[in-house]
Amino acid sequence: MAKPPGTVRVVVVGDSVTFGTSVRIEDVFHKAAERTLNDRYGGRPRVEVWGMGVGGANTTWERRVIQLAAPRYSPDLVVLAFNLNDVQPILEWTEAALAANGLPRDQGWKRFVCVRCGDAYLRGQSHLYHYLRNRLPSLTQAVGLTREPRVSFDLDWESEESLRSWQRMALEIAEIQAFLSARGIPLAVLVIPMDMQTGEAAARFYREEARVRFSTGLVNGLPQKIIGKFLAGADIPCIDPLPAFRADGSQKFLRRVWAEADYNHPNDRGHRLLGDALERYVGAWIAGRPRV
């Protein structure tokens, strides 16, 4: 799509948060930032902020989208919306995946898919199942729907496995930067926090009520420190809204308490905070860029 004269085009690439899961399209953070920026500049320049988000995406998928979209849509700036769960590896239907989930080879991948999808479906549909799953984990483990609880990669950031997974994502970010730099397009990274990072009350809710296992490092902002250090070394601007999330006393995430404890997806207030952080960065970037 051709960019109209006098237009600054920003493309935000991410996952289900960028897509706008469970919020109105006008409340998604990049649309809120676009409105604020255009109100500020009054059309001089006109600012377009495009969101390209798909549920379940990670940085590998986002790199591929950027490589396709950048030449086609001529962005002036690309923002990678990095969700902390991007460090989760994408499972492949292999013997290794079956073995990791406690299934012998002869049972095959069909049972693996059915069992894991069955657990995800019931968590989203049944209040009773979610209650039993959290309060009586031995029951759901006995029938094969769940495993012995452990701290998953995205809620850890301290184990060797978690850090190796982050390093793979860091390589993807470096590849994105190299691709964009060759075309004269700057890159910034927006780091989306998780709910249990926003304060002790939130951490206590997920630990005691939702029975979610996570590391102390996650609560203390270790992921942001690791990501920020990498981005600083690569000369990539980091947009970190975690301090604003911690300073805001309202509920900022979708806590579907009985169906699912959602610590990844912000509600409309959380999107407002993300939009504010994006708007401040883009506004400063526009003010500092050379006038053509």
Q: Count CB neighbours of 16 within 10 A.
A: 17
Domain at 7-88+155-288, CATH homologous superfamily: SGNH hydrolase (3.40.50.1110)
Instruction: Please write the tens of the pLDDT for every residue from 166-186.
Output: 999 999 999 999 999 999 999
d(CA 10, CA 193): 21
Strands 7-14 and 77-83: parallel
Instruction: Please write the tens of the pLDDT for every residue from 87-146.
Output: 865 444 344 444 544 544 444 444 444 545 565 556 555 656 656 655 555 555 555 555
Taking each helix axis from N to C end, the angle separating 222-233 and 160-181, rounded to the nearest 10 degrees, works out to 40
pTM passes above 0.85: no
Question: For the chain, which ranges sit under pLDDT 50?
Answer: 90-98, 100-101, 103-113, 115, 148-149, 257-259, 292
Could you tell me where in the chain the CATH 3.40.50.1110 domains are found?
7-88+155-288
